[in-house]
């Protein structure tokens, strides 16, 4: 295992310490239990937006803490959901009296830990709402699974909810908007290489030189099926077709197209995929009105890509365009 780290068990805390000194204007870090909050938290009277999950998906979530996006992020160990006490403490630290929205990716661990934290917060008189993100079309049959995973749409939910909260919208409103974003977003990914969890010390799975995993999550777990490596255009179709058919996305609609790198894939290749995805969306009569390209929700150093398509309405676009000032996403400020 070749990684830039000291002890695997110190990785997350040392990275948090790095964030604290790199972005003192943006955020504050607390270590025990571990969480990040925006520098001016709690913001009186504003709904707070909090998310969290295992580490290893950076910049998600810590890189999205700041004005116009997340009030707090709770990082767990690598690929391990944070614990209820972390989430509870962060919830308390950012509650400005208007309640806290928890943005939760749909994984059993995240769901249960956030659930327990929300129960504890409720007992302390803090109102919370949970927005569950489950946008991964690779998981087809939710009856015999833990349900669809939360992947790329998470970033869009966090941005749009964050902006709505910043604009003064109430707890129920922000949560409802977040759910609407989730309902209109669909994602799918594929991996060219596995990643290595620092504690495990070796790759999570093995792939032959011309094999890929299709329908991959973001935790280094194998995907839904193994396939042959093909040209980028063909692989882009392999992701876009199920996405387009699922909502389904209908001609004439406006969409946000988000091509996400899983960590180890160069930007050059992401733009090659973006080009084809854009072409396929256009061929279905969709208008790509907003774009995002880059590694925003990653799986350590895994090479691969995920595509997210969000059918946007006027309100979502307005909140997408609203100022945001975080380590990883910034505009208008």
Partner 1 sequence: EVLNGDAVVVWIERAAAVIVENEKYLTELDAAIGDSDHGANMARGFSAVRGKLAGQPREDVGAILKTVGMTLLSTVGGASGPLYGTLFLEAAKIAAGKAELDRTAIQQSLAAGLAGIQKRGKAEPLDKTMVDALGPAIQAFEGAAGVTLAEALARAAEAARQGAEATIPLVARKGRASYLGERSAGHQDPGATSMWLLVRSLAEAAAE
Question: Does 268 help bind its own copies (rule: CB under 8 A)?
Answer: yes
- Please answer whether residues 257 and 236 qualify as being in contact, where contact means their C-beta atoms are separated by less than 8 angstroms: no
Residue 108 CB, nearest approach to Mg ion (Å) = 9
In this structure, how many other beta carbons lie within 10 angstroms of the beta carbon of residue 88?
24
317 binds, among its own copies, ligand ADP, partner 1, none (CB under 5 to 8 A by kind): none
Residue 274 CB, nearest approach to its own copies (Å) = 4
Part of the chain binding partner 1 (CB under 8 A), chosen from 93-101, 108-116, 162-170, 268-276 = 108-116
Does an H or E element contain 277, and which? helix 267-283
Q: Which residue is nearest to ligand ADP (CB)?
A: 109
Question: Does 326 help bind Mg ion (rule: CB under 5 A)?
Answer: no
Contacts of 212 (CB under 8 A, 6+ apart): 190, 191, 192, 226, 227, 228, 229, 235, 304
Question: Does 18 help bind its own copies (rule: CB under 8 A)?
Answer: yes
**Residue from the set 85, 233, 246, 269 that interacts with partner 1 by CB under 8 A:** 85
Quick one: residue 135, left, alpha or beta (phi over 0 = left, psi -120 to 50 = alpha)? alpha
DSSP 154-186: HHHHHHHHHHHHHTT--HHHHHHHHHHHHHHEE
Quick one: residue 279, left, alpha or beta (phi over 0 = left, psi -120 to 50 = alpha)? alpha
Question: Does 231 help bind its own copies (rule: CB under 8 A)?
Answer: yes
Cβ closer to Mg ion: 79 or 249? 79
Residue 1 CB, nearest approach to its own copies (Å) = 8
- The residues carrying an active-site annotation are 57, 219
Residue 253 CB, nearest approach to ligand ADP (Å) = 35
Residue 271 DSSP SS3: helix
Question: Does 116 help bind its own copies (rule: CB under 8 A)?
Answer: no
* Euclidean distance between CA atoms 263 and 3, whole angstroms: 13
Residue 168 CB, nearest approach to Mg ion (Å) = 36
Cα atoms in the 13 Å half-sphere on the side-chain side of 69: 33
Q: Which residues inside 77-106 make contact with ligand ADP, applying CB under 6 A?
A: 80-81
Alpha helices in 34-148 (DSSP H): 84-94, 108-123
Cβ closer to Mg ion: 82 or 189? 82
Which residues here bind its own copies, judged by CB under 8 A?
2-7, 11-12, 14-19, 21-23, 55-56, 58-59, 63, 78, 192-193, 209-210, 212, 229, 231-233, 235, 263-275, 278, 288, 291, 293-295, 298, 300-301, 303, 305, 325, 327-328, 330-333
Which residues here bind Mg ion, judged by CB under 5 A?
79-80
């Amino acid at each position: 295992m070749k990684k830039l780290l000291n002890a695997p068990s110190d990785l997350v805390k040392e990275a948090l310490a790095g964030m604290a000194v790199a972005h003192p204007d943006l955020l504050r870090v607390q270590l025990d239990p571990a969480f990040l909050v925006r520098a001016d938290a709690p913001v009186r009277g504003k709904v707070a937006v909090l998310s969290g999950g295992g580490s290893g998906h950076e910049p998600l979530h810590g890189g999205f803490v700041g004005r116009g996006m997340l009030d707090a992020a709770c990082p767990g160990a690598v690929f391990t959901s944070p614990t209820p006490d972390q989430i509870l403490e962060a919830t308390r630290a950012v509650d400005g009296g208007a309640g806290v929205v928890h943005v939760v990716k749909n994984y059993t661990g995240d769901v249960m830990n956030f659930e327990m934290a929300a129960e504890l917060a409720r007992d302390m008189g803090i109102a919370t709402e949970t927005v569950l993100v489950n946008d991964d079309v690779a998981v087809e049959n939710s009856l015999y699974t833990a349900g669809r995973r939360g992947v790329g749409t998470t970033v869009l939910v966090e941005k749009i909810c964050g902006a709505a909260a910043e604009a003064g919208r109430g707890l129920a409103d922000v949560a409802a908007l977040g759910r609407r974003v989730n309902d209109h977003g669909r994602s799918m990914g594929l991996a060219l290489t596995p990643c290595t969890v620092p504690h495990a010390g070796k790759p999570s799975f093995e792939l032959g030189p011309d094999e890929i995993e299709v329908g991959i999550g973001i935790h280094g777990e194998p995907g839904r099926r193994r396939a042959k490596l093909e040209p980028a255009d063909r692989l882009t179709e392999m992701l876009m077709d199920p996405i387009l058919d699922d909502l389904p996305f209908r001609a004439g609609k406006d969409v946000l197209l988000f091509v996400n790198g899983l960590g180890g894939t160069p930007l050059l290749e992401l733009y090659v995929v973006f080009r084809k995805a854009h072409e396929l969306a256009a061929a279905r009569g969709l208008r790509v009105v907003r774009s995002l390209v880059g590694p925003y929700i990653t799986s350590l150093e895994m090479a691969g890509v995920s595509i997210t398509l969000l059918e946007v309405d006027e309100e979502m676009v307005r909140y997408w365009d609203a100022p945001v000032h975080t380590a990883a996403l910034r505009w208008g400020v």
